């Protein structure tokens, strides 16, 4: 256990949070902190702070915060032990594992190791396959790309990989868990999942092979197959090429999303390095949230009539919720990014990227496309479908822009633009009123829960100031806890944090807030610790600490007076009587607040201010 804790501390010492975060976020100096746009929520002004001194981060927009471990956990969707393992590898620290967490880890590790072995096998097989290499040459994929993407070939055989893994002493039932081999029904043994296919290893953002995609080079009716879901591979959370694209996405603040492996490779190789692919699945909310860590400007470059495009349009609400600016690249019929780029149409693709349409314009275009705009009936029907699209647009400015655009399709356009615009506008407004009636109930519920959450409490604020003062080392922790014991803090988070700081102080003779971040991660005290360390209003910390302690005592006294008065009222109203616990509490308060032995009646205490 001690070894484990040491390893955690060693990783913390070796990895600088600023280096780590800078891979995803452009940070700028701001006082003692660095500031940037939060990778975890949508924002236009930076509220994401990193404190190099304490090695922690905090977003004041969405409230997320923590240390290097929680940052990687949140960014890459990892558990603590995965994040630790990844960071340890980066830092060159080795970790001993025991217990249940150790076993769960090794199961995952096993699959990753088998994937790595299989990846090498497929690469080796590609070198030996004339056919596969000819295919790649024909698709314009050169040697360097083959190496970079670790492309491979699965031979036209039922057991080539199965045999290879057996020779390497790898358990085939583990290989089956990795999705590489399949158990034979009825009889003993396993057979290869990928046969006669070009292999695209799929990497996670930590560059590990989590799965494979295979394109048939024979006549198989399934053009592409992927690894099945496994402990390490979830299709709807994985974007192909993201490991190569992430830096470019952050730098250019824009991501291009394509549908296939070939599209992603062709685009990245042609210099559109900020490209990722969905691997034939619809874009999910998870995909969108993963992309949101890197940029909130997305361009969807799907085949115009593909299922992927239809799904992308349906998923635009995910993008909106995540605060994305999404544009749609309108691909010529029958083309995809790979086919365009393979012909060397780099500049054409670049200009298509620049001319990509906002989703709403694309939807309006689609709404009009289904109708015959040469006839009045066709125009009327087209405008009705377009009005339904506009009704969903929240921004009034956007609606007006589109109403002006649509006016020319109005049957009466020739008699006056204003009239046509008014007609469309009233149709849109009518639809919006209908929509808002259905949406209202849920909004009301949201409002009331927000009100409940915001209830300021002076005592807790004062306690936070005291803790902030300790953490900023403006006062020695021991001095504070002498007059204000940790167990006497009244707030849940303030007491937890005070107790953690106190036990650290007892153990080490000093406080070390940065090594508490892991221990307290995910608790109210952990959130408070990052709050107090980063961005806590400096002026609050300049009150002499004795003054704050006195204010706390005054505040506590006030609360006790209030409690005493409330109990006196209860006594008068006959709610409590002699012998009740609350009656005893009342007399205890009277003695404490007025001095022992004072023979005051309940009545007198009521007039007390």
Q: Which spans of this chain sit near Zn ion (rule: CB under 5 A)?
A: 38, 40-41, 59, 61-62
Q: What's the token pair of residue 192?
A: 């290869």
Q: Which of 278, 339, 335, 338 is nearest to 312 (CA)?
A: 278
Inter-helix orientation angle 492-508/524-533, to 10°:
80
Sheet holding 357-358, edge to edge: 275-277, 255-258, 297-300, 325-328, 357-358
Nearest CB to Zn ion, comparing residues 71 and 586: 71
Summarize the chain as % helix, strand, coil (round to 5): 55, 10, 30
Residues 6+ apart with CB under 8 A from 78: 72, 86
Nearest CB to Zn ion, comparing residues 70 and 504: 70
Report d(CA 73, CA 81) in Å as an integer.
9
CB contact at 8 A, 131 and 198: no
Q: Tell me the closest approach of the beta carbon of residue 170 to Zn ion, in angstroms.
A: 43
Nearest CB to Zn ion, comparing residues 56 and 232: 56
Q: Tell me the closest approach of the beta carbon of residue 66 to Zn ion, in angstroms.
A: 12
Nearest CB to Zn ion, comparing residues 59 and 322: 59
Nearest CB to Zn ion, comparing residues 61 and 378: 61
Nearest CB to Zn ion, comparing residues 8 and 38: 38
Nearest CB to Zn ion, comparing residues 26 and 373: 26
Strand partners, 202: 211
Strand partners, 226: 213
Number of H helices, E strands in the chain: 28, 16
**Pseudo-torsion of CA 121, 126, 130, 132, nearest 10°?**
120
Q: Tell me the closest approach of the beta carbon of residue 290 to Zn ion, in angstroms.
A: 15
Nearest CB to Zn ion, comparing residues 77 and 380: 77
Q: Tell me the closest approach of the beta carbon of residue 18 to Zn ion, in angstroms.
A: 17
Q: CA–CA distance from 290 to each of 75, 103, 195, 204 (Å)?
A: 8, 28, 32, 12
Q: CA–CA distance from 92 to each of 55, 75, 84, 106 (Å)?
A: 19, 21, 12, 19
Nearest CB to Zn ion, comparing residues 37 and 532: 37
Cβ neighbour number for residue 382 with a 10 Å cutoff: 21
Q: Tell me the closest approach of the beta carbon of residue 64 to Zn ion, in angstroms.
A: 5
Q: Would you put residue 25 in left (φ > 0), alpha (ψ -120 to 50) or beta?
A: beta
Q: Tell me the closest approach of the beta carbon of residue 62 to Zn ion, in angstroms.
A: 3
Report d(CA 236, CA 301) in Å as an integer.
18
The string of DSSP codes covering 302-360 is --TTSHHHHHHHHTHHHHHHTT-EEEE--PPTT--HHHHHHTT-HHHHHHHHHTPEEHH
**Pseudo-torsion of CA 592, 594, 599, 602, nearest 10°?**
-90
Nearest CB to Zn ion, comparing residues 18 and 593: 18
CB contact at 8 A, 34 and 50: yes
Q: Tell me the closest approach of the beta carbon of residue 61 to Zn ion, in angstroms.
A: 4
Q: Tell me the closest approach of the beta carbon of residue 450 to Zn ion, in angstroms.
A: 18
Q: Tell me the closest approach of the beta carbon of residue 40 to Zn ion, in angstroms.
A: 5
Nearest CB to Zn ion, comparing residues 269 and 531: 531
Q: Tell me the closest approach of the beta carbon of residue 37 to Zn ion, in angstroms.
A: 9
SS3 307: helix
- The dihedrals phi and psi of 297, each to the nearest 5 degrees, come to -120, 115
Q: Tell me the closest approach of the beta carbon of residue 294 to Zn ion, in angstroms.
A: 14
Q: Tell me the closest approach of the beta carbon of residue 521 to Zn ion, in angstroms.
A: 17
The string of DSSP codes covering 476-499 is -HHHHHHHS-GGG--SHHHHHHHH
Nearest CB to Zn ion, comparing residues 279 and 292: 292
Q: What's the token pair of residue 538?
A: 């400096």
Q: Tell me the closest approach of the beta carbon of residue 46 to Zn ion, in angstroms.
A: 10
Nearest CB to Zn ion, comparing residues 40 and 481: 40
CB contact at 8 A, 210 and 234: no
Q: CA–CA distance from 449 to each of 32, 60, 62, 446 (Å)?
A: 35, 20, 17, 5
């Amino acid at each position: 256990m001690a070894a484990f804790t040491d390893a955690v501390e060693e990783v913390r010492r070796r990895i600088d949070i600023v280096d780590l975060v800078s891979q995803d976020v452009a940070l700028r100096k701001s006082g003692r902190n660095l500031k940037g746009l939060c990778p975890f929520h949508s924002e236009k002004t930076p509220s994401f702070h990193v404190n190099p001194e304490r090695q922690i981060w905090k977003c004041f927009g969405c409230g997320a915060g923590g240390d290097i471990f929680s940052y990687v956990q949140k960014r890459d969707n990892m558990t603590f032990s995965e994040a630790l393992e990844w960071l340890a590898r980066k830092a060159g620290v080795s970790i001993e594992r025991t217990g249940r967490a150790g076993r769960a880890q090794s199961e995952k590790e096993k699959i990753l190791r088998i994937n790595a072995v299989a990846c090498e096998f497929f690469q080796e097989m590609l070198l030996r396959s004339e056919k596969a290499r000819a295919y790649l040459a024909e698709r314009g994929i050169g040697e360097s790309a083959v190496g970079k993407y670790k492309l491979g070939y699965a031979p036209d055989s039922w057991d080539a990989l199965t045999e290879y893994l057996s020779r390497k002493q790898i358990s085939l039932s583990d290989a089956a868990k990795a999705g590489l081999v399949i158990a034979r029904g009825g009889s003993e043994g396993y057979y290869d999942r990928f046969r006669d296919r070009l292999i695209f290893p799929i990497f996670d953002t930590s560059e590990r092979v989590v799965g494979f995609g295979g394109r048939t080079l024979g006549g198989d009716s399934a053009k592409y197959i992927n690894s099945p879901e496994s402990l390490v591979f979830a299709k709807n959370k994985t974007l192909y090429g993201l490991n190569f694209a992430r830096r470019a996405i952050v730098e250019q603040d824009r991501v291009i999303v394509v549908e296939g492996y070939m599209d992603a490779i062709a685009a990245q190789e042609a210099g559109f390095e900020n490209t990722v692919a969905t691997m034939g699945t619809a874009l999910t909310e998870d995909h969108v949230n993963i992309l949101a860590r890197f940029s909130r400007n997305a361009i969807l470059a799907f085949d115009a009539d593909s299922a992927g495009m239809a799904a992308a349009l349906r998923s635009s609400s995910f993008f909106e919720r995540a605060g994305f600016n999404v544009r749609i690249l309108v691909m010529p019929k029958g083309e995809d990014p790979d086919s365009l780029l393979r012909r060397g149409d780099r500049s054409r693709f670049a200009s298509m990227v620049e001319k990509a349409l906002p989703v709403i314009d694309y939807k309006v275009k689609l709404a009009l496309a289904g109708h015959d705009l040469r006839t009045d009936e066709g125009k009327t029907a087209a405008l009705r479908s377009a009005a339904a699209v506009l009704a969903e647009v929240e921004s009034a400015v956007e609606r007006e822009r589109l109403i002006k655009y649509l006016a020319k399709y109005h049957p009466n356009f020739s008699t006056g633009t204003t009239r046509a615009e008014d007609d469309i506008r009233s149709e849109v407004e009518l639809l919006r009123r209908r929509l808002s009636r259905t949406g209202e109930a849920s909004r009301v519920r949201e409002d009331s829960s927000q009100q409940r959450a915001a209830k300021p409490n002076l005592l807790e604020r004062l306690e936070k100031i005291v803790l902030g003062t300790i953490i900023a080392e403006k006062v020695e922790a021991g001095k504070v806890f002498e007059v204000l014991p940790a167990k006497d803090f009244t707030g849940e988070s303030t007491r937890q944090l005070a107790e953690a700081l106190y036990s650290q102080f007892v153990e080490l003779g000093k406080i070390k807030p940065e090594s508490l971040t892991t221990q307290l991660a995910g608790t109210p005290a952990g959130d408070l610790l990052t709050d107090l360390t980063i961005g806590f209003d400096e002026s609050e910390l300049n009150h002499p600490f004795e003054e704050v302690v006195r204010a706390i005592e005054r505040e506590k006294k006030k609360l006790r007076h209030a409690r005493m008065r409330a109990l006196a009222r209860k006594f008068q109203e006959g709610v409590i009587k002699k012998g009740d616990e609350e009656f005893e509490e009342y007399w205890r308060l009277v003695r404490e607040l007025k001095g022992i032995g004072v023979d005051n009646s309940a009545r007198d205490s009521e007039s007390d201010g």
